[in-house]
Amino acid sequence: MARQQRFRGVRQRHWGSWVSEIRHPLLKTRIWLGTFETAEDAARAYDEAAWLICGPRAKTNFPYDASNNSQVLSSSLRAKLQRCSAALQQQSKPTAKDVLESEEQKRVDDEYVEEMIEELIYYGSVEFSSSPSSSSSSSFSTSSPNQSYD
């Protein structure tokens, strides 16, 4: 018996019909796409759903053909997948609150660095140098302005 080609998001029921489903990227749940007579039809349904959710970065079974307007999925399922896609896009875009928190964290980090520099100037200097023989070894030395070497 010849081995049948396997498609992404497609499996065969034990009585012979083909089913297709796709996983929601955030919720990690399966979205049922339907039952089909052939594996190719089920694979095309998966491809259509993948394009609706992920856009051009979707992993599909067949190359994308913009001129092919055949819609395998029902209009209600297409609407549901478009809502999933919109939710994914909103999830990936930083909100104004995220941007403000990021800027605040950067300010705190900058203030911390400035404080460290002031402490180094007050208490002494720190020198880092790499040994030419080995790039992984480094030496660390500190000196104080009030310290004298004889």
Q: What pLDDT shows up at residue 137? A: 47
* N- to C-terminal Cα separation, the chain: 91
Q: What pLDDT shows up at residue 138? A: 45
Asked whether residue 109 is domain-assigned, the answer is no
CATH, residue 71: 3.30.730.10
- How many domains, the chain? 1
Asked whether residue 17 is domain-assigned, the answer is yes
Structural domain boundaries enclosing 62: 10-92
Asked whether residue 100 is domain-assigned, the answer is no
Asked whether residue 116 is domain-assigned, the answer is no
Asked whether residue 75 is domain-assigned, the answer is yes
Nearest to 20 by CA among 37, 5, 4: 37
Asked whether residue 139 is domain-assigned, the answer is no
d(CA 32, CA 38): 16
Q: Within 10 Å of residue 54's Cβ, how many Cβ atoms?
A: 16
With b for 16 or more beta-carbon neighbours within 10 A and e for fewer, the 122-146 pattern comes to eeeeeeeeeeeeeeeeeeeeeeeee
Asked whether residue 62 is domain-assigned, the answer is yes
Tell me the mean pLDDT per 10 residues along the chain, length 150. Answer: 75 91 84 91 91 85 74 81 77 64 73 77 64 50 52
Asked whether residue 129 is domain-assigned, the answer is no
d(CA 70, CA 93): 31
